Amino acid sequence: MLDSQHSIERYAPTEVEHRYGDNVHIVASPMALSQLATLCSEETLQPTINDLVKELYRSLLGHVINQELPKVRRSVRSRMCEVLERDGDDPGRGLIEAVMLDQSTPVVTVDIARAGILPSLTCYEILNRMLDPRHVRQDHLIVSRAVNASDEVVGAHIAGDKIGGPIDGRIVLFPDPMGATGSSLSTAIQYYKNAYGGQALKLITLNLIFTPEFIRRIKADHPEVIMYALRLDRGMSSADVLTSIPGSRWDEECWLNGHGYIVPGGGGFGEIMNNAWI
């Protein structure tokens, strides 16, 4: 029989209270915030930078897997089944029965070069271990930010792709460390819709840090998208706004400097993760 304690089908992590509406999740994790602060510190260099990125994405993906992937009731023989049989006891008592992940779930993780290369690979490797690897895929997009003469971000464009097929009926993950203006991820999501059409089961963004502007842009362009982050940055806001519940004074929240970088943020993750300063 299924033990009642293992019948829970929905996982509910502690999240930061906000007023941004549905489909927005800010995971409340002191451990992750500590690691993320170290990652963003000006004293942190390679290889610690990429080690922390991998650890943080393991943590963030765990929340997404628990909360968003389909579940089924499964039964697995433990090592005690054989012992119970040998002793003449009911071997069924040695079964591990619980609501677990549906391993047949098809998932695509999208590498948005260059900051998204390592996050996507980390997610891909974990998903291959957790699910049937025949249903797990990694795609690749080269997305470039478009800037004007004042070095302000004005959009994004796709410079190249390696997409393994349609996304119909699949959960599609977009692991990208910094959700600043939302232009790159919005462009990437639209690219999939234009290229293949169809209906993904879920579209999910996974950011280490995002901003109120990122949330607004994704909600406006793709209202069905589910967003997860470990930290919300709005550090250019007034002291009064910083004391308010996130999203309650959305129009007054300020998060970017004049060049489109998140404050406090962590600098350009594409640069620090690759030791390439262009």
Per-residue pLDDT of 138-193, as tens digits, reads: 999 998 766 666 656 566 778 888 999 999 999 999 999 999 999 999 999 999 99
Confidence bin at 195 (pLDDT 50/70/90): confident
pLDDT of residue 261 exceeding 90, the answer is no
pLDDT of residue 238 exceeding 90, the answer is yes
Share of the chain above pLDDT 90, in %: 79
pLDDT of residue 47 exceeding 70, the answer is yes
The pLDDT of residue 43 is 96
The pLDDT of residue 135 is 98
The DSSP symbol for 263 reads: S
The pLDDT of residue 12 is 77
Share of the chain above pLDDT 70, in %: 95
Distance CA 169, CA 61 (A): 20
pTM, whole model, 2 decimals? 0.92
Distance CA 100, CA 71 (A): 5
Confidence bin at 70 (pLDDT 50/70/90): very high
Residues 12-68+105-274, CATH architecture: 3-Layer(aba) Sandwich (3.40)
pLDDT of residue 81 exceeding 80, the answer is yes
Nearest to 203, CA basis, from 220, 217, 221, 189: 189
Find out whether 192 and 169 touch, Cβ atoms under 8 Å: no
Is the model more confident about 259 or about 166?
Answer: 166
Extract the tokens encoding 121: 């690979």
Give the burial class of 175: count Cβ atoms within 10 A of its Cβ; 0-12 exposed, 13-18 middle, 19 or more buried.
Answer: buried
Per-residue pLDDT of 105-150, as tens digits, reads: 999 999 998 899 999 999 999 999 999 999 999 999 998 766 666 6
Extract the tokens encoding 83: 């012992």
Confidence bin at 69 (pLDDT 50/70/90): very high
Tokens 């478009």 -> residue: 146
Tokens 């996304």 -> residue: 167
Domain positions in the chain are 12-68+105-274, 71-103
The pLDDT of residue 111 is 96
Confidence bin at 251 (pLDDT 50/70/90): very high
